[in-house]
Amino acid sequence: MCIRPTWVEISRHRLLANYRYLRQRAGRSADLLAVVKADAYGHGLVHCAPLISGAGAEWLGITSVEEGIRARSACAARPRILVISGLWHGEAAGALAHNLTPVVWEQFHLDELEAAARERGLGPRSVAVHLEIDTGMARQGVAAPYCAGTERGTEAPALKNLLARFHPQSALRLEGIMTHFSAAESLSSVEFKRQMARLGAALDHVIAARLEFRWLHAGASATLMGGQDLPAMSELAAKAGARLMLRPGLALYGYAPRFSPPGTPADEAATHLQQVLAWKTRVVSTHSIPGGEGVSYNSTFLARRPTRLALIAVGYADGLNRLLSNRASLSVRGQRVPIAGRICMDQCLLDVTDVPAVELGDEVVILGGHAMDAYEHADLIDSIPWEVLCDIGPRVPRMLVD
């Protein structure tokens, strides 16, 4: 097989164990939507989506119609697929053709879905959609009624106009109401309480409009792992006659959000998760340089002693962030060795002076396994594990192991 030696190993059994753990943690009264957007957080949609849906996941969440089409053709089990970031012009027909369920909040989403449904000759209430309520993230969704203190019940004209679209002759059916929390990892936050209050106020409008819907969904990994807010959410769903659904992403891949304050039961729950991904490469060349020589572009690493270097087949074009130059250490023969000098586009160098056994062809773990995990990478570059995982580039092949 002709492959450049840099690849990502995905542990099938760890992914499934995480899914089962989260499923059990959600309890019987809540459903789960497994978020596999952004190529399953860099883990490979075509591998992860069929495994998770094969394990019984009823819902998958992806970003766009394009991703949804890939997920649809990868999954034999015919899961429901939610298009989390809504629709853009011209995408409605594709969403219907592939049985994707869009999140909606703009009038044009509904216009284009209605038109596409007409074109396909679909009858009333045949196209399920989920309406997003903006309760404080201010990213997407129709504004909830403002309900700080006495403002509760304030008019929400945009919401009312959207709800009026779900009349009995419409091809559209309101199947879900959703929102997204902006600070779920800070436990018992005032933001969470304010967002829940606004969601409750929005639901009052839905109930007043006599619209029934099947799912109320909110809460990502942090809400599910934290757990303390689930009773309030279940109560709200029950009041609206709907089932609660949670949308974990990161936790499926074995990383728990970091909670603040730390040391809570949520951190204990995190010990049940197993990191799914290991990113690896090989030593493709070794050589030694005398003390005083510089390494890689601009000699940002200056050898203070005679130094043995190992060249590895990974660079920033593969998603190894250049800010990790001279900061991160990778793992070879079970030991950590530092990156020496600037990470190049396709390659970088390790200082292996202290591990003399290193030789051509040795496996090097970049992330996961014995190496730094996505949190450690993230901390070094002022980022978050979500970004570190998604950054692993498309030219790095993903392969299922175990």
CB 385 within 8 A of CB 374: yes
Alpha-carbon distance of 50 to 34, in angstroms, equals: 11
The stretch among 152-160, 230-238, 241-249, 336-344 that binds ligand PLP (CB under 6 A) is: 241-249
Residue placing its CB nearer to ligand PLP in the complex, 42 or 315: 42
Per CB under 6 A, the list member of 86, 141, 248, 254 interacting with ligand PLP is 248
The stretch among 4-12, 115-123, 249-257, 279-287 that binds ligand PLP (CB under 6 A) is: 249-257
Active-site residue, 255 included: no
Q: How far is the CB of 84 from ligand PLP (least distance, A)?
A: 5
Residue placing its CB nearer to ligand PLP in the complex, 101 or 325: 101
> Which segments of 23-108 are extended strands (E)?
30-35, 59-62, 80-83, 101-104
Residues 193-232 touching ligand PLP, rule: CB under 6 A, are 220-221
Location of structure tokens 């030694």: 288
Q: Which of 21, 37, 253, 255 is catalytic?
A: 37
Query: Does 130 sit near ligand PLP (CB under 6 A)?
Result: no
Instruction: Kindly list the distances between the CA atom of residue 170 and the CA atoms of 119, 163, 212, 227, in Å, as whole numbers in the listed order.
Output: 14, 11, 15, 38
8 bridge partner residues: 279, 398
Q: Which of 193, 239, 280, 297 is catalytic?
A: 297
DSSP 42: T
Query: Does 245 sit near ligand PLP (CB under 6 A)?
Result: no
Residues 79-108 touching ligand PLP, rule: CB under 6 A, are 84
DSSP 150: G
11 bridge partner residues: 401
CB closest to ligand PLP, residue no: 249
DSSP 260: B
Strand (E) or helix (H) holding 190: helix 190-208
CB 339 within 8 A of CB 327: yes
Query: Does 247 sit near ligand PLP (CB under 6 A)?
Result: yes
Query: Does 180 sit near ligand PLP (CB under 6 A)?
Result: yes
By annotation, the residues acting in catalysis are: 37, 297
Binding interface with ligand PLP (CB under 6 A):
35, 37, 84, 180, 220-221, 247-251
